[in-house]
Amino acid sequence: MRRLTHFRCADETLAATLDEAPGTTGLLIVSGGNEIRIGAHRGMAELAATVAASGHPVFRYDRRGIGDSTGENNGFESTAQDISEAAAAFRRAAPHLTRIVAFGNCDAASALILFHAQAPIDALILTNPWTIEPSADGNDLPPAAAIRSRYVEKLKNPRELLRLVTGGVNIRKLVSGLAKASGKQSHPASGLPARLATALAATKAPTKILLAERDNTALAFADHWKSETFAPARTRHTLITCPTDSHSFARPTDKAWLTDQVGAALAPE
């Protein structure tokens, strides 16, 4: 059964949903971006229903300033207390729980990496973690790894080669993209990627990282994952890719894959 609930966070009221089930391992879903708790294409609501039907309770919520929750939305970097209070509220709502596995996509995955240690969370499922920071020059091109992947695909397509030689390609944009794609990632990484690498290397929580292999955000993370900065994390955590370009695993086959991965993480250790 699904029921609406709420909890307090920094003098604000956060709306939440509990899918009840008898299992002692529960799934805490943290929404990414500015999405409300149902997720893109109702994906998180559907995942919650499926997981609960398999016997595991699921708790979802709107962070401060999103959806039905009060307060100001200050982005994922400000959500440490939201996550901690949500995990505590989950345990109050389902007192039979002995273990909480937290799930997050995109910047919710990054928030969980950074802040899960402050919450009563036992394991992590992270999909397409966000590592992209604004460039100093304001250039809004996709990450270099995504540009390289796109050009590789285009070079395999005779129709795209014909567009190039017949003037159907914006040369200025092409040159800008090639310049960014050819630039090597700085080593060691700095900013958000470095913080994520440090937190992943330090966490004691079993962590599964799931990537949509042709999604721009996932491509950017995968590029960092191969760097020296993430080397300590690579020895501790599992990374698995899904053959899709869907950031939210929206297609039926992607949903089935994601559900299987989540189910495996919730299984008894």
- The verdict on pTM exceeding 0.75 is yes
CATH assignment of 2-135+190-266?
3.40.50.1820
- Give residue 196's Cα distance to chain centre: 12
Reported as a single tens digit per residue, the pLDDT across 8-22 is 999 999 999 999 999
Is the pLDDT higher at 268 or at 141?
A: 268
Cis peptide leading into residue 188 (ω within 30°): yes
Reported as a single tens digit per residue, the pLDDT across 146-193 is 555 454 454 455 665 556 556 666 656 655 555 555 555 544 567 999
Residue 88 confidence class, pLDDT cut points 50, 70, 90:
very high
Q: What is the 3-state secondary structure (H, E, C) of 12-46?
A: EEEEEEEECCCCCEEEEEECCCCCCCCCHHHHHHH
- Report the mean per-residue pLDDT for the chain: 88
Domain boundaries, the chain: 2-135+190-266, 144-182
pLDDT of residue 197: 98
Reported as a single tens digit per residue, the pLDDT across 180-229 is 555 555 445 679 999 999 999 999 999 999 999 999 999 999 999 999 99
Residue 268 confidence class, pLDDT cut points 50, 70, 90:
confident
Query: For the residues 227-254, what does the mean pLDDT come to?
Result: 96
